[in-house]
Structure 1
Amino acid sequence: MTTPTQMAAARQGLVTNEMRQVLADEPIGEAELLARVAAGIIAIPANRNHTNLRARAIGAGLSTKVNVNLGVSEDCCNIEAEMAKVRLALDLKTDALMDLSTCGDTRGFRRRLIAASPMMVGTVPVYDAVARYGKDVGRISVDDFFDVVRIHAEDGVDFMTIHAGLTRAAVERLRRNPRLTHVVSRGGSLLLQWMTENDQENPFLTHYDRLLELCREFDVTLSLGDGLRPGSLHDATDAAQIQELIVLGELTRQAWQAEVQVMVEGPGHVPLGEVITNMQLQKKLCHGAPFYVLGPLVTDVAPGYDHITSAIGGALAAAHGADFLCYVTPAEHLRLPDMDDMKEGIIAARIAAHAADVAKGLPGAIAWDHEMSRARKDLDWQRMFELAIDPDKARAYRASSQPGDQEVCTMCGDLCAVRKSRMILEGK
């Protein structure tokens, strides 16, 4: 008998091993978890072939998760460097990895990554189809696309980004409502090319039932990609983006009917004043499905600092409905990130995620902050370092400027307000 998907198990009232792992990590009860997985508002990406997975859940009432993108490209094809990034992501407590490789032995790298990662792993099969077959995009067949999806599923990929909502109607709306930056999603642009050259509808929409069968077979979570996400503030919340979002909502319900878990991807570049609106639209149109956002970046003018523009938008987005943040590094829009870029991006995304969890009132989230505040009141430097989101950086800053009085820091010295007020108010 076929093992049920996480969603099917939840609908039958069965608590899976993956659900037990989630219950050990999250402030949620068993009955709530079963109900929300059954309804689709929590997803547990857990491919049956990812045997060393430590399951994490994404969605309503849970901590905000963080994803890291990595992978080799034509100009930077160093698999060992990317494996070092996998280890760094583990060290920095990332929740998920996405392999976006586009050249070389993509399957060999993907298998190594999955074998090394207890984190959930995602991919974009359309990228790999281009790398695997070496054909012009327009000459890739429908079977070629689906063969790659099956290979990724067999390898143990937990969630796959598929841009099934990029329809011909949405493309026509895009033509009638010109954008400043057109289509910035790599997967979206590849399917746009395929659809144009073949004068056909999106193959993943036409053959959506076939896609759902594959996902159900391996219990792959479908991450419905936003091929028309805005790549500039000018293009945010426009007709093409909303057209695609409406279709993604319909595809979400269809997937749930097949007991396939879904996440929905979102923007992109969004002015700060439109971030909350975008979250409300997605949750409404996609029936509360977990929402996965890239940023969003709240300004276009900060190349080299887009981990900051992303963290600003990510904190606001997650506080108002986003469940999963894709990190952005300082190298965004400029080059493939190195290890230093990656660390800056992960820390920025984790800060945004935690700030959002505090804002949402997630049980236990603010306790971490209270512990740090107690350590500061006590001028307990070692405890502060232990609690810091980046202990190494905190220690390095402290060591770089040593005070004469080791209890205080070089900012205030003898005028330390914390020490003075503690002595007065606590009678010391």
Structure 2
Amino acid sequence: MTQITEAKSGNVTEEMKIVAKEENEDPNKIRDRIAKGKIVILKNKIRSLEKYTGVGEGLITKVNVNIGASTDHYNIEEEMEKIEIANKFGADSLMDLTDGGDIDYIRKLVLQRAKMPVGTVPIYQLYYEMVTKRKYVIDFTEDDFFNVIEKHFKDGVDFVTLHTGVTLDLAKKAAEMKRTAGIVSRGGTILAAWEIYNEKENPLYANFDYLLELAKEYDVTLSLGDALRPGGIDDAHDELHVGELIVNSRLARKAIENGIQVMIEGPGHMPLDQIEMDIKLEKQLSGGVPYYVLGILPTDIAAGYDHIAGAIGGAIAAMNGADMLCYLTPAEHLSLPNPEQVKEGLIAFKIAAHAGDIIKVGEKVKNKDTEMSKARSRLNWKRMFDLTFDQDNAIKIYSQYKNFAGGSCTMCGDLCVYLVLPRALNKKKYDKDKKTRS
């Protein structure tokens, strides 16, 4: 039984109860939305979790962190440090994107150390295995691909990105079209190259029923990848972008009918005024399947600060119904991120998700903002620090010109608004009492 088949039978699973408690939601509502494919719980049947993550309608916006070594920089200790950062600062899911070295070993370490659900992109390992066998990527067989996917499932991966929607027809169009940024998905590029060279349909699309059988055995959530996402704002909502979304929406509905949990991945780069429309389009086409977006990046020129640009787009996406944001770091488009950049990206996107949720789910999250406002008005620094996303950094900044927690901050000093008026009122009361006594 999967979460969906349990839900369709009217059962509330233990996982549903846990998510309902964390979200302060009715377990029956969680069950009903899972039955319709509007919520997923990211959990492989064989894996134990410390942190459960529900993604979808009526739930707070989740944030995913990407880690993983590359062929240019393979440092296991650094990747483990990134996991500790994700654990500490509240990532809701974590994707291991390792594409070089001992991929199996790193994946198993990630699954051991991450408290939250873990996702992967199996085609990265398929590509690397072809390279180590002195083959080119166009030489893999369909069996090669599905063997790697099944290996990830058996290891305990909770969700996988699979580029099901880049059909042979769309791959040929992509090769012919004059897109500004071309195809920016690594997995999408690999599949498009394989399809065009071999004149064969995407094996994930052609064998989707078999993929569903594999996923059902482990209740792995399929994250239908956006292989043809816009990699520049000029390409947003072109024929490739929308065409792939239509294909993935159709496949997502088929997965739900067969009891398989599924998400759809989204852009990418997109002007701010198209974000709301994009979210509504995905929801309309798919029937409300959870939408997992990268960024969204509303400008292409923020290199070094893409975590800020992406958080701007991410907040708007969350506000309009995006269900999970894949973070960006300051290293996006430039480098593999170091641990500090992972932290910066995660916190930026936690803020973006929260800002969007103030509109999307309201009082479920807004009470923290009210508590912070009250703490500020009372100059209650301990409470303020407790409510921040990064307490250590807040204390460090507060203390940079001051060595005790009390009174005003050093920005306003003696002119603090929460000191001036109370002093005036206290003085007036004192003067009045003194006059009365005399």
TM-score (norm 2): 0.94
1:279-294 residue pairs with structure 2 within 5 A? 279-294=279-294
Change (3 A) 1:42 1:422: farther
Partner of 1:332: 332
- Cα offset for 1:285? 1.1
Give yes or no for contact 1:403–1:409 (8 Å, CA) kept in 2: no
CA 1:405/1:98 → structure 2, altered by over 3 Å: closer, same or farther? closer
SS at match of 2:64: strand
1:421 deviation in Å? 3.5
Q: CA deviation at 1:105?
A: 1.2
Please give the alpha-carbon distance, in whole angstroms, between the structure 1 residues aligned to 2:116 and 2:150: 21
Query: Which residue of structure 2 aligns with residue 312 of structure 1?
Result: 312
Paired residues of 2:298 and 2:313 also in contact (CA < 8 A)? yes
Distance in structure 1 (CA, Å) of the matches to 2:191 and 2:175: 16
Please say if residues 70 and 100 of structure 1, whose CA atoms lie closer than 8 Å, have aligned partners that are also in contact: yes
Following superposition, the deviation at residue 133 of structure 1 comes to 3.8
Residue in 2 that maps onto 1:56: 53
Deviations 1:355-378 (A, max 9, x none): 011111344200111111111000
Whole-Å separation in 2 of the counterparts to 1:169 and 1:311? 34
Match of 1:408 in 2: 408
Q: Give 2:93's aligned residue.
A: 96
Amino acid at match of 1:319: M
The question of 1:171 aligning with 2:209 is answered no
Which is greater in Rg?
Answer: 2
Q: What number of residue pairs does the alignment pair up?
A: 425
Q: 1:21·1:56 contact (CA, 8 Å) conserved in 2?
A: no
The one-letter amino acid paired with 1:234 is D
Compared CA separation, residues 140 and 53, structure 1 to 2 (3 A):
farther
Q: Decide whether aligned partners of structure 1 residues 153 and 32 sit closer, same or farther in structure 2, where only a CA change above 3 A counts.
A: same
SS of the residue 2:270 aligns to: coil
Q: How does 1:28-427 map to 2 (within 5 A)?
A: 28-134=25-131, 135-175=135-175, 177-402=177-402, 406-422=406-422
CA distance in 1, matches of 2:421, 2:126: 64
Partner of 2:435: none
Is the Cα contact below 8 Å between 2:265 and 2:291 reproduced in 1?
A: yes
Partner-residue secondary structure (3-state), 1:281: helix
Picking from 11, 16, 24, the partner of 1:14 is 11
Q: CA deviation at 1:393?
A: 1.1
Instruction: Say whether the 8 Å CA contact 1:68–1:96 is kept in structure 2.
Output: yes
| Secondary structure in structure 1 of the residue aligned to 2:399 | helix
Aligned-partner Cα distance in 2 for 1:131–1:171: 22
Cα distance in structure 2, aligned partners of 1:276 and 1:39: 23
Structure 1 residues 195 and 280, CA gap change in structure 2 (3 angstroms): same
For residues 218-270 of structure 1, the C-alpha deviation after alignment (integer angstroms, 9 at most, x for no partner) is 10000000000000011111111000000011001110111000100000000
Distance 1:53 1:5 in 2: 20
Moved more, 85-94 or 413-422: 413-422
What's the CA shift for 1:177?
3.9
Structure 2: gaps (5+ residues)? 430-438
User: Conserved in 2, the CA contact under 8 Å of 1:233 and 1:299?
Assistant: yes
After superposing the two structures, state which structure 1 stretch, 321-330 or 19-28, moved more.
Answer: 19-28
One-letter code of the match for 1:18? E
C-alpha distance in 1 between matches for 2:65 and 2:375: 31
| Equivalent AA in structure 2 for residue 155 of structure 1 | D
Contact 1:268 1:297 in 2 (8 A): yes
Amino acid of the residue matched to residue 85 of structure 1? K
Aligned-pair CA distance for 1:340: 1.1
Over the aligned positions, Cα root-mean-square deviation in angstroms equals: 1.6
The CA deviation string for residues 267-319 of structure 1, in whole angstroms up to 9 with x for no partner, is 00001111111111111111110000000101011100000000000000011
* Aligned partner letter, 2:256: W
Quick check: 1:27–1:62 contact (8 Å CA) kept in 2? no
**How high is the TM-score relative to the length of structure 1?**
0.96
Deviation at 1:176, TM superposition (A): 5.2
| 1:349 Cα deviation after fit | 0.4
* % identical aligned pairs: 45
Alpha-carbon distance between aligned partners in 1 of 2:56 and 2:299, rounded to the nearest angstrom: 27
In the alignment, the residues of structure 1 paired with residue 184 and residue 404 of structure 2 have an alpha-carbon distance, to the nearest angstrom, of 54
The farther-off stretch of 227-236 and 129-138 is: 129-138
Q: 1:383-414: CA deviations, max 9, x gaps? A: 11111111111111111122899401221111
